[in-house]
Amino acid sequence: MIHSIRLATRASVLALLLLTTIAVAAQTPTPKPVNPATQPPGGEPSPTPPATAPPGTQTQPPTAPPGVNVLPSPQPAPTEPATPEPREPNFPNVQAQPIPPLPDLTRIGIVSSNIMTLSLNDAIRKALQNNNDIEVARDDVRIAEYGLQSLYGFYDPVFSVTPTYDKRINPVTSIFAGGTASGTVSTTTYSLSPTLSRNFGVGGGSYTVGFANSKTVTSATSSTLNPFYSSNLSLSFNQPLWRNRSIDATRHSIRIQKKFIEQSDSDFRARTIAIISQVQAAYWNLVFALRNQQNQLESLNVSRQNMRIIEAQIEAGAKAPLDRAQVQTDIATRETNLFIATQNVSVAENTLKQLMLHDPAAPEWTAQLTPTDTPVLDLSAVNLQLALDEAHKNRPEIRRLNLQKEINGLDIQYFDNQTKPQVNLTGTVATTGLAGTPTGLGSTTAPLISGNPNTVPNAFLLNQIQNIQTLAGFPLAVVPTVTTTGVTVIPKYVGGYGQDISNLFDFQTRNVTVGVAISIPFKNRTAEANLATARIQREQLEASFRSQDQAIEMDVRNAAQAVDTARRRVIASKAARESAEQQLAGEEKLYEVGRSTTFLLLERQNSLTAARTDELQAQTDYNKALADLQRATGSTLRVNNVDVQTPTTK
């Protein structure tokens, strides 16, 4: 019994010693082997201490005989290692960062107090009034009109008058020339001869009316009237009968100039349509730029609010300072986007001003434009066939080509006429008048023989006879006197200038001349070559017309597709923006309860900003596509209530 108790006690003591040994071994660090290569020079690795028995372990002295049990000596009870006291966490002293201020959005050259509200109709009206390109096109029409007036000047009546004074002294050798004793005749003539001439557009003829008047004073003894008045009233004409009758060079130029005026009007309409389309695009670009600037500003304000929240969380210890860096990076990125948006506002505004203003000195260059119109979102589908029909009917390019065809038809008509022979009817119808003062009327008495005996033969003979009679003592011969009768002048020719005019209009003295002038070219290669060239140009115009027609077809189809695509983009971008708003709202709720991160929240905010920008861009592109469709169909003037006056061609 005692032996059994002793064995049980010994087993309990051994078990207690084993447990104590295991616990001490678990708390005792194991020495790390030392690498000799890492020791300093001359150093020796420290020897490993001999293993010692753990406390409480029974050891047998070497002198104890075998088989003898030696009771262990009493050992102190093992003590548990002391546990260190927990220390408070060492948080770094983080200074709160101030919220960055809003950036300065002042634009260079713009006075912020000078705000100019502008509707789309106002922008179009200012462009039509002040745009320099439209002014140049408008002046082209006026130049063409004055060119037509200059051609019509060919048919203006021309009045001409040439007053003259003519003094002549001519020698004469015939007694019938009325020479005086000096053997000369003196003649003085005063004339005034007005004429009126004109070319006629109908028939291509020309007519001249002449009225010649003169007064003549002469020393000729043979003249029965001195001084005398003479007048002549004549009508001359030249009328083409074949070539140049239906069309000539002047009428050809006039008809072509009329077509040029209509072409310049078409060019003016095309230029006006292009400017209006550019104004519409620039206006909507400015609307988008301002709305996008506001969108970027709101995005920046959201990021600045995130900064306030992050600072509060960092101060409370709920967020690490690293989250602040994320928000600061986001603020800088959004500021960059805001600066770019502001730059786009300046570009769009300057583009619109360049279209509206007349010169660089206009005060509106410093104004801040504020559009009042918002994008129109009529999402109805485009009727392609109706748009194509309207384009082929209204496009100025088609009208211009049709006018060019008509010009080519005039060229063919004119050059074909020039290949014909020249046959002109010419003639003159004239009436004359005469009146003056008679040189001698009634009878005169004079010796039968008179004159100087040295110069007059009859007087010499009479002198010799009288000398002989004197020597012979005979009575002298008596020269008889004779009575001469003056030249009788018809009474209607006796008088002054009034009698002359009266005789002119009684048509008793007149002349009529009629003739035909014929000119037949044998080859006329110039006219034949010009006609052949005009016919080739007609074929070129047909090809150009087909090419332009296809270009309009393509233009309208592309414009219609752009409208349809923009319409679909508006719908899709709206849905994307609404989804982005829902995603951001959900992310904010997750962030509030700690189930989201700052990075994810910023990503959702940036996605919403991008979605809003895309929606604004889609709305702008839709309105620009509508304006481009108006241009493609030629309906810009009608839709915008612009009335272009048709130039005069008379």
Delineate the domains of the chain, giving CATH numbers in brackets: 115-145+249-420+524-639 (1.20.1600.10), 443-485 (no CATH)
276-285 per-position pLDDT tens digit? 999 999 999 9
131-158 per-position pLDDT tens digit? 888 889 889 888 999 999 999 999 999 9
State which H helix or E strand residue 389 sits in: helix 384-394
Of the candidates 602, 1, 624, which has an alpha carbon nearest to the alpha carbon of residue 327? 602
- Residue 563 has which token pair? 């409208």
Can you state the angle between helices 598-633 and 525-592, rounded to 10 degrees? 160
What's phi and psi for 564, nearest 5 deg? -65, -40
Half-sphere exposure of 61 (CA within 13 A, CB side): 9
Dihedral (CA of 453, 454, 456, 457) sign: positive
- Residue 464 has which token pair? 């010799």
Average pLDDT rounded to a whole number, residues 54-74: 42
- Give the C-alpha separation, 556 to 387, whole Å: 7
Dihedral (CA of 559, 560, 562, 567) sign: positive
State yes or no: cis peptide before 227, omega within 30 of 0: yes
The secondary structure of the chain in percent helix, strand, coil, rounded to multiples of 5, reads 55, 15, 30
Q: Mapped to the 3 state alphabet, what secondary structure does 567-614 carry?
A: HHHHHHHHHHHHHHHHHHHHHHHHHHCCCCCHHHHHHHHHHHHHHHHH
**What's the pLDDT score for residue 174?**
66
Which of 41-55, 247-261, 536-550, 553-567 shows the lowest per-residue confidence on average (mean pLDDT)?
Answer: 41-55
- Give the C-alpha separation, 383 to 390, whole Å: 11
Label the pairing between strands 225-240 and 206-218: antiparallel
User: At 563, is the pLDDT very low, low, confident or very high (cuts 50, 70, 90)?
Assistant: very high
- Residue 493 has which token pair? 């020719």
- Residue 16 has which token pair? 């207690």
What's phi and psi for 130, nearest 5 deg? -115, -15
**What's the pLDDT score for residue 76?**
53
583 alpha-carbon distance from chain centroid: 48
Average pLDDT rounded to a whole number, residues 617-635: 93
**Structure-model confidence comparison of residues 89 and 315, the more confident one:** 315
